Amino acid sequence: MAAMEDLFAGDLVSPRNARVRAALDLCRSAAARRESGAYLVEGIKLVNEAVQEGVPLLDLFVSPGLLRHEGGPGLLATLKEAGAPLLPVADGVMARLSESRSPQGILATAVRPAGVPSPPSRTPGRPLLVGWHIQDPGNLGALIRIVEATGAAGFLAAGGGADPYHPRAVRATAGSLFRVRPSQCQDAAALLATLRSAGLDLVAAVPRDGDPPASFPWDRPWALLIGGEGEGLPDVLLQAAGRRVAIPTEGRVESLAVPAAAAMLLYEAQRHRITPAGRSQGGRSAARPRRARPRGPRGG
């Protein structure tokens, strides 16, 4: 422990340091993240996972608070031994850089993947999740995590909304961002052209008047379109979708939160893919839920 404390015994990096200011820009600005090709990874678990996944790290800000958290001293020792670019800062500077209420004393500047992601995968039974205008970074990060958990084909953030590399989105992915590389597309026409050129059939998640998920033919190469908070999917996408799926709800519930709706739909697709008993002829499930009030997500 003494050797670790020595790192903070000398002069600490000033809050006016150019690298600190650059990290603050990455925290606050999506444009800065795009232009610099970098983003922030915060916390012991995420930084450790980024290292294990081979994510290129430019700077590693560490503060004395790291030594007070479980796993912190061990991670710091590993990083020092590996010759990582450690920048010791005061806990106050770390608090300014952090989006967390309880910073763990470590934050890294990571290299954002360069180039254009691969075209969407045309894999029957593994839908490509398309999130349209997801405004909350936490919801966006949760969707990326759900995509990995359910074995979906990938994630495409469309129609603007939050940046997948926003610090809160990165944290909400819980490391899935390092393995699920999100695509982005702003325009609806360009999105439809991309999906059609990939040979994907379109299914829209709607609040009502759609097929129940349990009886939906998930064993086709689908792009699952799910709308953002409040507004749902625009008419141009609803009209382009060949099928619609709705999650049955009861009581007075009219819609579900975006991550909850996506998880239910993608887990149903996974169930049909890996459980033969969950499928019957034509991809229909033998067990059909009660459809008293087929009201599900607001466009997702």
| Ordered structural domains, the chain, with CATH | 2-111 (3.30.1330.30), 128-283 (3.40.1280.10)
In tens, the pLDDT along 248-277 reads 999 888 889 999 999 999 999 999 999 865
Mean pLDDT of the chain: 89
127 or 299, which is more confident: 127
pLDDT score of 96 more than 70? yes
Q: What is the pLDDT of residues 129-150, one digit of tens each?
A: 999 999 999 999 999 999 999 9
Task: Return d(Cα 122, Cα 201) in angstroms, integer.
Answer: 9
pLDDT per residue over 200-220, tens digit each? 999 999 998 999 999 999 999
Largest CA distance in the chain: 71
Tokens of 238: 């609803």
pLDDT of 61 > 60? The answer is yes
Give the pLDDT score at 68: 95
Task: Tell me the C-alpha distance between 257 and 59, whole Å.
Answer: 36
pTM summary value: 0.88
SS3 214: helix
